[in-house]
């Protein structure tokens, strides 16, 4: 069974950093395009970052470019999102999602940026 479990969310001050993890099971993460998608409270879905199929290329939304870094550890079958220089507007539930035409979602982890 395909499962993805996010962790690492929490409360952080503006300007701070957090690292989100997405532990995958039931499939080999490196064989798929992988994404981070977020949803601010009461708002719609926003694609944040992703690896293309094969994992050679990383891509970012303009809103996080230069501040967030996507990576993965194939030995741990885990996807990461390093978030630096956090802003209040980064407050959201962050989901990891498998595939370009997304087929599976994690349950999400809440990131709150507030002083």
Partner 1 sequence: DIQMTQSPSSLSASVGDTVTITCRASHGIDKSLAWFQQKPGKAPKSLIYLASNLQSGVPSKFSGSGSGIDFTLTISSLQPEDFATYYCQQYSNYPYTFGQGTKLEIK
Which residues of the chain form contacts with partner 1 (CB under 8 A)? 35, 37, 44-47, 50, 52, 59-62, 95, 99-108
Contacts of 42 (CB under 8 A, 6+ apart): none
- Cβ closer to partner 1: 59 or 84? 59
Q: Give the Cα separation of 108 and 36 in Å (integer).
A: 10
CB of 29 to partner 1, least distance (A): 17
Contacts of 89 (CB under 8 A, 6+ apart): 40, 63, 113
- Cβ closer to partner 1: 49 or 78? 49
Instruction: Supply 7's token pair.
Output: 């962790």
Q: Give the Cα separation of 62 and 41 in Å (integer).
A: 20
CB of 75 to partner 1, least distance (A): 26
- Cβ closer to partner 1: 78 or 109? 109
- Cβ closer to partner 1: 23 or 45? 45
CB of 100 to partner 1, least distance (A): 4
Identify the helix (H) or strand (E) that includes residue 54.
Answer: none
CB of 13 to partner 1, least distance (A): 26
Q: Find, among 60, 62, 82, the residue nearest to 71 by Cα.
A: 82
């Amino acid at each position: 069974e395909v499962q993805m479990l996010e962790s690492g969310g929490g409360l952080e001050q503006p300007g701070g950093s957090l690292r989100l993890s997405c532990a995958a099971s039931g499939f080999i993460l490196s064989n798929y395009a992988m994404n981070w998608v977020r949803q601010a409270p009461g708002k719609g879905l926003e694609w944040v970052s992703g690896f293309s199929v094969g994992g050679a290329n990383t891509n970012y939304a303009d809103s996080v470019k230069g501040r967030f870094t996507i990576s993965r550890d194939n030995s741990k079958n885990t996807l990461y999102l390093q978030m630096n220089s956090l802003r209040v507007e980064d407050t959201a539930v962050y989901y990891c999602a498998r595939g370009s035409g997304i087929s599976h979602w994690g349950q999400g982890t809440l990131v709150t940026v507030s002083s």
